[in-house]
A and B are shown apart, each in its own frame.
Chain A
Amino acid sequence: MKMKKFTPLINPQSIALVVVLLVNWILFPGFFNVTWQDGRLFGSLIDVLNRGVPVAILAIGMSAVIATKGVDLSVGAVMAISGAVAATLVTDGYPAYLAVLAALAVGIVCGVWNGVLVAFLEIQPIIATLVLMVAGRGIAQLITAGSIVTFADPLLIFIGTGSFAGLPMPVVIAIVLLILSVLLVRSSAVGLFIESVGVNRAAASLAGIRSGLLLVAVYGFSGFCAAISGLIVAGDIKGADANNAGLWLELDAILAVVIGGTSLLGGRFSIAMSVLGAIIIQAMNTGILVSGFPPEFNLVVKAGVIILIFTMQSPLATRLIEMRKTQRAVARKAS
């Protein structure tokens, strides 16, 4: 449980990202072209960041949950709920800031619900959050009455498609959230508390950590992140699509966390690396779009790259690299 102050720049994840980006560049030479258009940056690289945001934000919350040896399957459904709440409120004539606050609050409530099930009813996280994963989409459909609720509210649309300092608004939101959450967990003891609960909840409680409250807060934070993602996705298409918003994104978020090197067994996590994982996933998606592969290849290509990353991260690979290092050192000494 030793905390590293800085993650080394050369690690399997950054190598994977560079490789994926280079492959994209070979398949589509204009991949790195970024131009300035209508007061904002425009290019495939920007698309990678912008489209990666929903999963990246989910991954921020998911990292904390997974660090407690939990998992949150409900984030996709919570996205749908938050979008539905915001969209129906503004179409009913409520001011946009109220709709945004309500959507975020609903997200937190959903997360707290999960947290209570996990912390106090001691239901296994995968089961506890499965409840909301299934029911949540139904709730979202109830709110929107099954149809796509479209809106023309400038604030909501700005959250999804606006720009700030040349960057798409979702990217700005994600960066701010990333910085704040890393500061929160690493410059205070919160990160350590989360990890200790993940390693051994009973021991952590005995050591004086109020683990129940902490779990509720962590799941609540995950719900909050999901609500932000939901607002972004709804703003992006100027409508709340209860059937499809966030569909299967919980799996992408878990994948991003795992690619980022966080163990599903809990006790160790890096929010920044999870976000990097989300960007790797999106770099693959965008690459497939611009490369011109037929869509039947999408999943195969993704699976291939992911297997490669996991192989690079596996204990066996790490041992092999260590072995080479010592061999070389020995050889150098001998000569």
Chain B
Amino acid sequence: MKFFTKLAVAAGVAALLSSAAYADSLKGKTIGFSQIGSESGWRAAETSVTKQEAEKRGINLKFADAQQKQENQIKAIRGFIAQGVDAILVAPVVSTGWDAVLGEAKDAKIPVILLDRGVDAPQDLYLTSVASDQVKEGKVAGDWLVKTVGDKKCNVVELQGTVGSTPAINRKKGFEEAIKGHDNIKIVRSQTGDFTRSKGKEVMEGFIKAEDGGKNICAMYAHNDDMAVGGIQAIKDAGLKPGKDILVVSVDSVPDIFKAMMAGEANASVELTPNMAGPAFDALDAYWTSKKQPEKFIITESKLYTQKDDPKKVYEEKKDLGY
């Protein structure tokens, strides 16, 4: 008897949870998604996650690939308006030149949500924008290091992204904010690895030579996982153990960094989530059910993954997303 009560309660809770998680206001709705293209693995993953999220909620997603061209995006949005979709998601390829087409969507009373990047247009032309906070990504990485090394002296080498690029500037800034006030942690070397594996490896090789064969380095902070993967190889080539002799923390959380975590060679990675559509759909749901205007800027979570978070499982989840 008791067993059945438990079962019934469990079923009830499950039913409640599922209906709470994906409200009916989205079911059967048609939403257009104008994607930039597939210039990076992350972009491809964003596309697959958006499709998954739409399917989960019973949304009929219309997908348009703009192949890096704004004119294609504008055409796609006009097409969506003509088809009378219920809402439009746009990952804008550039920030200017959107006023006219967003105005047309507004006149047609179709809410528009921007994904991943912002635009220079009056804020009333779109419902909200969903993006990550790059400064926070750097900060989460820095906080992890501060917590991990405690009071011990720690010399950090930094592999920066492309000089002058926004993620490089912001991820550097966030990391520096996090270690500020912790005088035991110091960035001793910082160079650009252009976000690539081979440059990351080359730069790390140089750092290891310059810092007493790497003995003087306690941690490596890379602005993206690809550079970290290159850096890890350089550390191994120098006869040191990445993850132990030199701690490795980076940003992005692409599948390959979880492979390195499984091998104990990477310690932590901050996720730039490819799931921008999930929060966007949730905002739409809230907007349609309660007529509530969402905030203009929705910031996605910058989740920290470490070796404790079952890297194998995360790798399996991520490897087929197209990264």
Contacts of A35 in B (CB 8 A): 213
Task: Give the docked Cα–Cα distance between A148 and B41 (Å).
Answer: 8
Question: What are 5 of the A-B contact pairs (CB < 8 Å)?
Answer: A150-B256, A289-B191, A289-B203, A289-B205, A295-B191
Task: Give the docked Cα–Cα distance between A295 and B187 (Å).
Answer: 14
Contacts A147-B322, A241-B196 given: A44-B201 contact, CB under 8 Å?
A: no
Let me know if A296 and B206 touch, CB within 8 A.
Answer: no
Contacts of A150 in B (CB 8 A): 256
Chain A contact-residue range equals 35 or more
Sample of 10 further A-B pairs with CB below 8 A, known A146-B322, A237-B201, A286-B206: A47-B209, A51-B202, A150-B256, A233-B198, A241-B197, A241-B198, A243-B40, A244-B199, A289-B206, A290-B206
Task: Give the docked Cα–Cα distance between A326 and B73 (Å).
Answer: 70
Closest to B191 in A: A295
Chain B contact-residue range equals 20 to 34
A37 within 8 Å of B (CB atoms): yes
Please provide the chain A residues from 272 to 306 with a CB less than 8 Å away from any CB of chain B in the complex: 285-286, 288-290, 292, 294-296, 298
Q: Which of B41, B201, B210, B237 contacts A292 (CB 8 A)?
A: B210
Contacts of A42 in B (CB 8 A): 238
Minimum CB–CB distance from A152 to chain B (whole Å) comes to: 11
Contacts A37-B239, A150-B256 given: A237-B197 contact, CB under 8 Å?
A: yes
- How many residue pairs bridge A and B at CB < 8 Å? 82
Minimum CB–CB distance from A151 to chain B (whole Å) comes to: 12
Task: Give the docked Cα–Cα distance between A241 and B200 (Å).
Answer: 13
A153 within 8 Å of B (CB atoms): no
Let me know if B197 and A239 touch, CB within 8 A.
Answer: yes
Contacts of B197 in A (CB 8 A): 148, 237, 239, 241, 244
Q: Which of B201, B207, B209 contacts A43 (CB 8 A)?
A: B209
Task: Give the docked Cα–Cα distance between A64 and B227 (Å).
Answer: 34
Task: List the interface of chain B (C-beta within 8 A of A).
Answer: 38, 40-41, 44, 160, 163, 189-192, 194, 196-199, 201-203, 205-207, 209-210, 213, 226, 229-230, 233, 237-239, 256, 322-323
Contacts of A236 in B (CB 8 A): 198, 201
Minimum CB–CB distance from B191 to chain A (whole Å) comes to: 5
Task: Give the docked Cα–Cα distance between A43 and B209 (Å).
Answer: 7
Let me know if A244 and B203 touch, CB within 8 A.
Answer: no
Interface centre among A51, A147, A241, A243 (most CB of B within 10 A): A147
Minimum CB–CB distance from B5 to chain A (whole Å) comes to: 50
Contacts of B209 in A (CB 8 A): 28, 30, 43-44, 47, 290
A38 within 8 Å of B (CB atoms): yes
Task: Give the docked Cα–Cα distance between A296 and B192 (Å).
Answer: 9
Contacts of A28 in B (CB 8 A): 209-210
Contacts of A51 in B (CB 8 A): 202, 205
Minimum CB–CB distance from B188 to chain A (whole Å) comes to: 8
Minimum CB–CB distance from B271 to chain A (whole Å) comes to: 18
Let me know if A298 and B163 touch, CB within 8 A.
Answer: yes
Contacts of A245 in B (CB 8 A): 198
Let me know if A237 and B198 touch, CB within 8 A.
Answer: yes
Let me know if A289 and B256 touch, CB within 8 A.
Answer: no
Minimum CB–CB distance from B197 to chain A (whole Å) comes to: 4
Closest to B212 in A: A30
Let me know if B41 and A244 touch, CB within 8 A.
Answer: no
A270 within 8 Å of B (CB atoms): no
Q: Which of A43, A289, A298 contacts B202 (CB 8 A)?
A: A289
A114 within 8 Å of B (CB atoms): no
Closest to A245 in B: B198
Task: Give the docked Cα–Cα distance between A244 and B39 (Å).
Answer: 12
